[in-house]
Amino acid sequence: MEIRQNTPTDWYVEWDAQYGKPKTSVKIERTTIKGHTRYLYLAQKLSGFKTQKVHYHGKTQYRVALFNPQKAYAVQFNLDGDAEGLKPNAYGVLVFGGQAVYTSYNLK
């Protein structure tokens, strides 16, 4: 797993894969799912996020939670004042390691 910083450009936000280096990265050793929460087990602590120590030995010492509250939002952008041809952009909100993050859905 790689954690990257978002780069705002114009009216949308995307991560900069060409120039940006990951802030941190760890290997996911195991995953469990309980309801809307996925628990990712790691061998080392993930800096910048709330991780819980669950074991003292082995490859699954730390755990970080990824919670999906099943909420989506739609936003329409009207940059040039023309209402014709407007496409909505949809975003889903997730909680990863105690921090709210979003993922964009491509609507065609």
Tally of residues, the chain: 108
Q: What is the DSSP pairing of strand 72-76 with strand 6-9?
A: unpaired
> How much is the pLDDT for 42?
94
Residue 66 CA, distance from chain mean position: 9
Sign, CA dihedral 31-34-39-41, equals: negative
Residue 102 CB neighbours (<10 A): 13
Percent of the chain's residues with pLDDT above 70: 69
Query: What's the rounded Cα separation, in Å, for the pair 86 and 94?
Result: 26
| E strands, 1-108, in order | 2-3, 6-9, 12-15, 24-25, 28-34, 37-42, 52-53, 62-67, 72-76, 88-96, 99-105
**Selected residue with higher pLDDT from 42 and 73:** 42
Domain boundaries along the sequence of the chain: 2-105
Which residue's structure tokens are 């990712």?
40
> How much is the pLDDT for 10?
46
